[in-house]
A = this chain, B = another copy of it.
Amino acid sequence: MEPAVRGRRGSTELRPLLSGERGAQFGASASSPSALAVAAVLPAGGCGERMGVATPKQFCRVLGRPLISHTLQALERVCWIKDIVVVVTGENMETMKSIIQKYQHKGISLVEAGATRHRSIFNGLKALAGDQAYCRLSRPEVVIIHDAVRPFFEEDDLLKVVRAAREHGCSGYDLEFGTECLQLALKYCHANAKLVEGSPDLWKVTYKRDLYAAESIIKERISQKICIVMDMKEEKEHAGYLLETVLKNELNHVKVTSVVPCHDGSNIQHIILEQCYSFVCMNVMTTDFQNTQKLLGMLEESNLSVLYPVVVVSVHFLDFELGPLSQKMESLMWIRKFAVEVKKRNILLCGLIINYSQDEQKLQESLRQGAVIIAALIKERNSALLGQLLVA
């Protein structure tokens, strides 16, 4: 848990949070002229010695992206945090800059770390103090000090911190339960500080096993929504709808929705905007990729895959009894080249052939197996399998 530091400028009243854009006034409302400017400092100068890996833990990759980028993304979601200051060592300054650029983080300032964690936090606070001539940051009223290696927290956790920062002056009582940071804030920044209890989610990535856990948690989170893009040629009660039913049964913790693309694709774009990272695309009556190609085009145009790999499973229904399966696979084999192409945009494309048998029992078994394969592809998000043509 991280302490909040209350700045020298005393705040007035804290109102319930309003949702709005980054940098919007905190708690501003018609009846309250008061606003609370909140900033965050992320000390990220650690060298990760407990991790047992060469890379400092904040730069270790989780789902292909440095851990600190996941933490920044979580902070960016909180619209009332105005500025974020990341404190890194000189040697990691360029790495950090390229992370900010590649993953399109906004409103981040970089400050060089000190010799100790304390000095680093102090440098971060100084940058926010606004008493340096070159400083473009406005002076906040509350500063949240947040570990770069704690990517999991709820807005409520931070809200508690900010509330405590408003309510508490500097008391000896609080300090008895405090951490090193609290003492630092008190001693050097002429600031008030208090320790606030966090939720169990607010854990810190410390050991290598925590990286495994972080990756699994993130994979689970982004696999909570699956969108089935139906084939326009498809009639009700056809294969796509059958698969939807089976998927809903197999994945009962996942929100499975289906959509028939409208002429301008705006309904698909809406789903992309809602950050759905898993798509199952039906190509029912043909062996070509028309439907999948359209979807991939829209995904490539969007920014969706900047933060997480997007999985697209291109599903093809074929009756295995109408001639050898291998012949039908021939025309689908070029999914391999296609997959290599979209991989550049962090989209993982796989093909899946489902036996559209006339035998009801065989069809159900094939649908069920298809659902299991889809679930695995979405859950694992493993790029080693891109371009493969799987058979259910």
Contact = CB atoms under 8 A, between A and B. Distances in A.
Nearest to A212: B216
B391 A336 contact: yes
A151 to B, nearest CB: 12
Which among A207, A333, A385 has the highest number of chain B CB atoms within 10 Å? Answer: A385
A333 B326 CA distance: 9
Nearest to A214: B209
Which among A50, A213, A216, A377 has the highest number of chain B CB atoms within 10 Å? Answer: A213
A200 interface: yes
A6 to B, nearest CB: 32
A376 B385 contact: yes
Contact of A326 (B210, B213, B329): B329
A54 interface: no
Contacts of A200: 50, 207
A324 interface: yes
Contact of A213 (B50, B209, B330, B333): B209
A137 interface: no
A377 B377 CA distance: 12
Interface in A192-229: 200, 203, 207, 209-210, 212-217
A389 interface: yes
A30 interface: no
A129 interface: no
Nearest to A390: B388
Given A213-B213, A217-B209, A376 B384 contact: yes
A47 interface: no
Contacts of A324: 330
Contacts of A203: 207, 209
Nearest to A50: B200
Contacts of A326: 326-327, 329-330, 333
Given A200-B207, A203-B209, 15 more contacts: A50-B200, A203-B207, A209-B210, A209-B214, A209-B216, A212-B216, A212-B217, A326-B329, A329-B329, A333-B391, A336-B391, A373-B384, A376-B384, A380-B382, A388-B390
27 contacts: A200-B207, A209-B210, A209-B213, A210-B213, A212-B212, A212-B213, A212-B215, A212-B216, A212-B217, A213-B216, A215-B216, A216-B216, A325-B330, A326-B329, A333-B391, A336-B391, A373-B385, A375-B384, A376-B382, A376-B385, A377-B384, A380-B382, A385-B385, A385-B390, A388-B388, A388-B390, A388-B391
- The 3 A-B pairs at the shortest CB distance, nearest first, are namely A376-B384, A212-B216, A326-B326
